[in-house]
Amino acid sequence: MKKSRILAEVCAAVMILSLTGCGGNGDTDSGMNGAVTDSRAEAAQVMTSSTEKQGYGQGVEVDDKNRPVGALDFNRKYGGFDATAIGKEGEKIRLTFDQGYENGYTAQILDTLKEKKVQAIFFVVQDYAERNPELVQRMIDEGHIIGNHSVTHRSMPTLTAAECAEEIKGLNRYIEENFGVTPTLFRPPMGEFSELSLAVTKQCGCETMLWSYAYADWNVDAQPDPAEAMSKLVGAAHEGAIYLLHSVSSTNAKILPDLIDQLRAKGFELY
């Protein structure tokens, strides 16, 4: 009876994992029971996860350490899905850039990061990588991290588990085949997610990374005033901050050197 139950659980877990197109994280060398436990847990997380669409924003409320309450709440609620919006207390500030399309400023941004010795994360979609291989290769060569922003920038909670998995694994395959690295961080397009999409992301071997501060920098026809942008970005600084910036922004490219300097002058370290 026990062997039959274990076999049934293995089959159920394999079926769920096959629906997403992602393999389990179990150590098959540890024996059947260990593999069953890990696969069953992963399958159960997908099966029991809500499909309700959520839209993330860090909000304006902060704690006594200037950390956005919305980001802290996200970590508490979704940490079990390997999802984070803010680093731990005492951690450095992380600069991240979403790469939807190229607007001519990424090379300048890379120049600044190299000069200031800062390691950033660039979340790319597949079209960006296909159109700008030299910039992606430069990011890698200069020590930056390539993050996964999906194949086609679709809203993850509107997709099936299998479609979610293909958005993640498809981009990973492209990056692996063309650049020889494997992204392990995923940022859901538009910050939209569900528990199901977070669970699938975890099954696909990626951590979900959102952000603890972002501002309206993406509209190329209505760029923020550089002085106002600097004031907002420096004023929002906190330990473990994850900044979401867009490389299409002329303002970001212009203020980035001074932003790094001012953050360091306030006593913060950057990766």
Q: What is the dihedral of CA 22, 123, 184, 56, to 10 degrees?
A: -70
Q: Would you call 144 a catalytic residue per the annotation?
A: no
Give the separation between CA 61 and CA 174, rounded to whole angstroms: 39
pLDDT at 46: 64
Report whether pLDDT(192) > 90.
Answer: yes
Q: What are the residues facing 246 on neighbouring strands? A: 98
The b-or-e profile of 226-252 (16+ CB within 10 A means b, else e) is eeebbeebbebbbbbbbbbbbbbbbbb
Confidence of residue 22 (pLDDT cuts 50, 70, 90): confident
What's the whole-model pTM score?
0.88
pLDDT at 50: 85
C-alpha distance from residue 230 to each of 55, 101, 155, 254 (Å)? 26, 23, 30, 10
Report whether pLDDT(268) > 80.
Answer: yes
Tell me the per-residue pLDDT of 209-218, one tens digit each, with 9 for 90 and over: 999 999 999 9
| 196, HSE (Cβ side, Cα atoms, 13 Å) | 21
249 neighbors 220 (Cβ within 8 angstroms) = yes
Confidence of residue 23 (pLDDT cuts 50, 70, 90): low
The b-or-e profile of 18-33 (16+ CB within 10 A means b, else e) is ebbbbebebeeeeeee
Tell me the per-residue pLDDT of 78-89, one tens digit each, with 9 for 90 and over: 999 999 999 999
CA 54 to chain centre: 16
CA quadruple 54, 57, 60, 63: dihedral sign:
positive
Give the separation between CA 50 and CA 34, rounded to whole angstroms: 26
Tell me the per-residue pLDDT of 106-141, one tens digit each, with 9 for 90 and over: 999 999 999 999 999 999 999 999 999 999 999 999
Q: What is the dihedral of CA 146, 219, 252, 245, to 10 degrees?
A: -40
Give the separation between CA 59 and CA 215, rounded to whole angstroms: 11
* Region label for 208, one of left (φ > 0), alpha (ψ between -120 and 50) or beta (otherwise): beta
Amino acid at 126: Q
Give the separation between CA 23 and CA 9, rounded to whole angstroms: 16
Tell me the per-residue pLDDT of 27-63, one tens digit each, with 9 for 90 and over: 444 454 554 455 566 666 666 678 999 999 999 999 9
Q: Look up tokens 């970001």; give the residue.
A: 252
Query: Which residue ranges form the domains of the chain, and what is each CATH number?
Result: 2-48 (no CATH), 54-265 (3.20.20.370)
pLDDT at 36: 45
Task: Choose, from 144, 149, 238, 246, the residue flagged as catalytic.
Answer: 246
Give the separation between CA 136 and CA 134, rounded to whole angstroms: 6
225 neighbors 218 (Cβ within 8 angstroms) = no
Amino acid at 184: T
Give the separation between CA 79 and CA 222, rounded to whole angstroms: 35
Task: Choose, from 98, 149, 217, 238, the residue flagged as catalytic.
Answer: 98
